[in-house]
Amino acid sequence: MLYFNSNKFDFWKIYDAVKQFYPLGVNKDIIEFYLSYPGLKELEKIVVDTIHNGNNDAKLWSSLTEDIEKEIGKEIIGTTYGQAPSFSSYVLLDSVTTGNLTRTKELYFFVSLLGPFYTIIGRYNNTVKFEDGKHFTSTNYLVVSPEDEFADTFKFLCDKIETSFKGYRFIPFGICRQSIDGIHVRYSDKNLNTFFHALFNDQIDITIPRQLGDSYFKSNEWIKEDYVDSVDKWTAYPPSL
């Protein structure tokens, strides 16, 4: 459930974008009624025009990822797909294999199609491959702000995205992981009900409990223009969290 200090921050813009495109609280099993929601039809058109037909934003994203790969000298793996309402890719920062175990450090970056929003999340993964071709993957931790060996590339990606996609703002992980009552995403049959899933995709398991960094990184960019600082020292989340 969404919660933030509404006296100081204006994260309602994110909620409004979700509400515009998703029929919140509507039973998706009543399929004809569910699909009749005008916002959902509009979102599907945006996804088709952008991802499938390759409009100007798609060309901008392609140029952006090519520039990033050239400038940092690291492999970029595209993860934009199907019906998910976002562009997404990740930078393979490091990969070390010992026997059948591979450890990777990956930095994912996402740009939403619902509005001027983006986010970046890193993860440190282990993958074990077996002789029968099967594999098992686990995530050691997520990286939610510029930290340690992820820091330079994290900040670089922020700068590049904000330069290419004018007016886009970073959505902090602390907002991304909050749930939305009554939402169903069209691109998956799983119960994906967070702002991250609504705005971006399901490439990252944001329920991983181990996180490195500031969950409200860049939240200062969401401070209301008329906010006057006082004795209230809340950040974007309740003091108890």
Residue type, 101: L
Boundaries of every domain in the chain: 12-218
Give the mean pLDDT of the chain: 92
d(CA 91, CA 89): 7
What is the chain's alpha carbon radius of gyration, rounded to the nearest angstrom? 19
Mean pLDDT of 145-165: 97
Mean pLDDT of 113-138: 92
**φ/ψ (deg, to 5) at 216:** -120, 35
What percentage of the chain reaches a pLDDT higher than 70?
A: 95
d(CA 211, CA 173): 10
Mean pLDDT of 108-137: 93
Largest CA distance in the chain: 62
pLDDT of 240 higher than 50: no
The DSSP H or E segment spanning 126 is strand 117-129
Confidence of residue 224 (pLDDT cuts 50, 70, 90): very high
Residue type, 183: I
User: Which tokens belong to 128?
Assistant: 């074990």
pLDDT of 145 higher than 70: yes
d(CA 44, CA 41): 5
- Angle (deg, nearest 10), helices 56-72 and 151-164: 150
d(CA 214, CA 82): 31
Structure confidence by residue, pLDDT tens digits, 36-67: 999 999 999 999 999 989 899 999 999 999 99
